[in-house]
Amino acid sequence: MEDALAERLLPWYREHRRDLSFRRTKDPYAILVSEVLLQRTRVVSGVPYFERFMARFPTVVDLANASEEQVLKAWEGLGFYGRARNLHRAGKAIVGDHSGQVPRTFAGLRELPGIGDYTAGAVASIAFGERVSAIDGNAARVLARVFRILGDLTRGEARKRLVGIGESLVPPSDPGAYNQALMELGATVCRPRTPLCTTCPLGSLCGAYRDGNPERYPQRFVRPPPPVIRVAFALVERKGKVLLVRRPSGGLLAGLWALPGGEIIGKTSAGAAIRESLKDLGVRGRVLGVSGRVDHTFSHRRWTGTVHRVRASGPTRLGGDALWAGPKEIQRLPLVPFHRRFLERGRGDDAAGTGTIRDLDMGEPF
DNA sequence: TTCCGGGATC
DNA sequence: GATCCCGGAA
């Protein structure tokens, strides 16, 4: 079985692999970028980001010299923004501690921020030919089916079995192609639902296929629906500019610029919540009405609520984490993706279809 | 509209 | 064990 898998996988891969830009490079830095960028991200949605990222930061020195804001801007829309910050830190470490050379071993790569077992294995095998495994979700699904691994593949005994089997199968020659082949098979043939077993190069090497129940693997576990959290944001206008605040450097949407506002605690009204957050920023004004709705689901919580137009009055002195943004800044800054549409729609009259929010003290100046 | 899949960190 | 997003499929 050991060699049989690789022997079937490699010819299949040469024939069927998708022609993707990140597969055309041998530059270890580019491979590292692509692997971080594809963490928890589908290949098709990651590719345009990869191309833009490499155009923007062609070398690790360019990345290391960039500001965190510039890196975040290139990441805007991809999600899991901690990845961007970690990749930036990794770039600085490569330049600062490794003479600008990407570490050539699994162990060396594993030390970099944002590089876990998967990414270290992928870069070590693909860029440097080290015989290590790289088991992403696609590869895990293939192995779970071939070897009929039951249980939760992310932890415990099932995880151990998966990793043990995965490591034992990596061939000494071209482990990078082998790892990519396994992942590619999972992505395109051994799909989560309705796998294309009739065209699979593994055929009856696969235990689940022989049993006639490939979809039984890997086992799925119920994911409880995320808690719904009320939010309210303010679209504050003054002299054609809009008020933005920088989100904290840790946590949700870390480091992105956003409309002021956020989660609402308890029974506070949306209007009151907005007045409160603007008061904290030293901004005075009046809430005019609702200009849109937010309904956005993250990994672990769901935001639902409203965006309110606010007319600011009087002068304001803003700190470093707040600014009045004109069109130029709106274009240049990394923004919360689902806030951007409110800014680009411009001054937007109170949108129809959002329903009228009855907030009796709405128009009060504050 | 809901569901689901895809790694790392602390 | 809890935190961190998005887009395509259903």
Residue A1 clears pLDDT 50, i.e. is over it: yes
* pTM of the entire predicted model: 0.93
Listing DSSP states for A169-215 in one string gives H--SS-HHHHHHHHHHHHHHTS-SSS--GGG-TTGGG-HHHHHT-GG
Å separating the CA of residue A141 from the C1' of nucleotide C10: 20
Could you check: is the Cβ of residue A115 within 7 Å of any atom of nucleic acid strand B? yes
What is Dmax (Cα atoms) for chain A? 75
Reduce the DSSP state of residue A120 to 3 states and report it.
Answer: helix
The candidate with the shortest Cα–Cα distance to A22, out of A10, A35, A11, is A35
Å separating the CA of residue A32 from the C1' of nucleotide B3: 31
Average pLDDT across chain A, whole number: 92
Q: What does the pLDDT read at residue A362?
A: 58
**Identity of the residue numbered A279:** K
Name the token pair of A357: 């929010």
Q: pLDDT per residue over A17-59, tens digit each?
A: 999 999 999 999 999 999 999 999 999 999 999 999 999 999 9
- Segment A89-97 shows an average pLDDT of 96
Could you check: is the Cβ of residue A129 within 7 Å of any atom of nucleic acid strand C? no
Could you check: is the Cβ of residue A82 within 7 Å of any atom of nucleic acid strand C? yes
Dist. CA A340–CA A351, nearest whole Å: 16
Could you check: is the Cβ of residue A317 within 7 Å of any atom of nucleic acid strand B? no
Å separating the CA of residue A223 from the C1' of nucleotide B3: 10
Among all protein residues, pick the one whose CA is nearest to the C1' atom of B9. Answer: A114
Residue A7 clears pLDDT 80, i.e. is over it: yes
Per-residue DSSP letter, A67: -
Rg of chain A over all Cα atoms, to the nearest angstrom = 25
Name the token pair of A6: 């690789």
Nucleotide nearest to A156 (CA to C1'): C1
Q: Are A154 and A117 in contact (CB under 8 A)?
A: no
